Amino acid sequence: MEKLVQLSDHEILIDFSPNTKCRTTIRIKSLLPTAPLAFKLQTSSPHKFLVNPPTGLVPPLSSASFQIVLKPQPHLPPSFPRSPSDRFLLKISPAPDLPLDSPESTHPQLANRWFDRVNSVHDVKLKVYFVGKFLLSHAVSGGDLDSVRGIIKRQRSIVPDLTDREAEALYRAAARHSDVAALLLDAGLRVGVSDEARWAGKGWAGMHAAAAFDRAGEIEERVRAGEGVECRDREGRTPLILAAGKGNVRSVEVLVAAGANVDARSRDGRTALYRAAANGDSAVVEMLVAAGGDPTIGDVEHCRSAIGVARDKGHMDIVKVLEQGEAVLRAARRGELDTLEALLEKGANAGFCDQYGLTALHVAAIKGNKDVVMMLVEFGAGVEWQDAEGHTPLHLAVEGGSVETVEVLICRGANVNATTAKGATPLHVSKLMEYEDITKLLLDKGAAAVPSSV
pLDDT tens, residue by residue, 353-384 = 888 889 999 999 999 999 999 999 999 899 99
Instruction: Indicate whether 199 belongs to any domain.
Output: no
Is the pLDDT score of 2 beyond 60?
A: no
pLDDT at position 403 is 96
Is 330 inside a domain boundary? Answer: no
Element (H, E) at 128: strand 122-131
Same domain for 369 and 419?
A: yes
ω into 59 cis (within 30 of 0): no
Higher pLDDT, 100 or 42: 42
Average pLDDT, the chain: 88
Residue 97 has pLDDT above 80, yes or no: no
pLDDT digits (tens, 9 = 90+) for 30-74: 888 888 888 899 999 999 999 998 988 888 888 888 999 999 999
Question: CA 339 to CA 352: how far, in whole Å?
Answer: 16
- pLDDT reported for residue 201: 66
137 with 160, same domain: the answer is yes
The pLDDT value recorded for residue 292 is 80
Residue 235 and residue 188 share a domain: no
Judge whether residue 194 has pLDDT over 70. Answer: no
As beta bridge partners, residue 129 has 13, 82
CA gap 333, 363 in Å, rounded? 6
C-alpha–C-alpha distance, residues 114 and 189, integer Å: 50
Give a yes or no: residue 275 inside a domain: yes
Band (pLDDT 50/70/90 cuts) for residue 348 is: confident
Is the pLDDT confidence value at 416 over 70? yes
Residues 6+ apart with CB under 8 A from 60: 30, 32, 33, 34, 35, 36, 37
Separation of alpha carbons 387 and 374, rounded Å: 19
Residue 278's domain is classified under what CATH number? 1.25.40.20
Average the pLDDT over 394-407 and give the result. Answer: 96
> Of the residues 323, 354, 369, which one is the last residue of a structural domain?
323
Residue 212, pLDDT above cutoff 90: no
> What average pLDDT does range 252-269 have in this prediction?
95
Q: Within a domain: residue 453?
A: no
What is the per-residue pLDDT for 195?
54
d(CA 207, CA 267): 19
For residue 323, what pLDDT is reported?
78
Assess whether pLDDT exceeds 90 at residue 165: no
State whether 436 and 364 are in the same domain.
yes
Cα dist from 14 to 64, 77, 87, 198, whole Å: 20, 11, 12, 31
- pLDDT at position 197 is 52
pLDDT band at residue 414 under the 50/70/90 scheme: very high
Distance between CA atoms of residues 57 and 34, nearest Å:
13
- Of the residues 76, 98, 130, the one at which a domain ends: 130
Q: Work out the average pLDDT over 345-358.
A: 83
Domain membership flag for residue 421 = yes
The answer to whether residues 108 and 165 belong to one domain is no
Do both 63 and 38 map to the same domain?
Answer: yes
Output the pLDDT for position 343.
86
Asked whether residue 254 falls in the same domain as residue 293, the answer is yes
Residues 125 and 136 occupy one common structural domain: no
Same domain membership, residue 220 and residue 178? no
pLDDT number for residue 103: 43
> Are residues 110 and 174 part of one domain?
no
Shared domain for 416 and 381, answered yes or no, is yes
The two beta strands, 11-15 and 22-30, are unpaired
In which band, very low, low, confident or very high, does the pLDDT at 100 lie, cut at 50, 70 and 90? low
Average pLDDT over residues 256-262: 95
Residue 182 located in a structural domain: yes
d(CA 430, CA 384): 18
The domain tally of the chain equals 4
Range of the domain at 62: 5-130
| 24-38 pLDDT per residue, tens | 999 999 888 888 888
Which of 297, 323, 349 delimits the end of a domain?
Answer: 323
pLDDT in tens, 215-255: 899 899 999 999 999 999 989 999 999 999 999 999 999 99
Q: Cα separation of 297 and 308, whole Å?
A: 10
Which residues on neighbouring strands pair with residue 359, listed in sequence order? 353
**Separation CA 318–CA 316 (nearest Å):** 5
- Those residues whose C-beta lies under 8 Å from the C-beta of residue 132, and which sit 6 or more positions away, are 14, 15, 16, 17, 151, 155, 158
What single-letter DSSP state applies at residue 448? P
395, part of any domain: yes
With b meaning 16 or more CB within 10 Å and e meaning fewer, what string describes 101-132? eeeeeeeeebbeebbeeeeeebebebebbbbb
Q: How many helices (H) and strands (E) does the chain have?
A: 22, 9
**pLDDT value at residue 99:** 66
What CA–CA distance (Å, rounded) separates 90 from 82? 18
Which range, of 100-114, 122-136, 178-192, 372-386, averages the lowest pLDDT? Answer: 100-114
Task: Give, to the nearest 10 degrees, the angle between helix 337-345 and helix 370-378.
Answer: 10
Residue 450 forms part of a structural domain:
no
Residue 85 · residue 44 · CB < 8 Å: yes
Q: How confident is the model at residue 200 (pLDDT cuts 50, 70, 90)?
A: low
Residues 308, 275 share a domain: yes
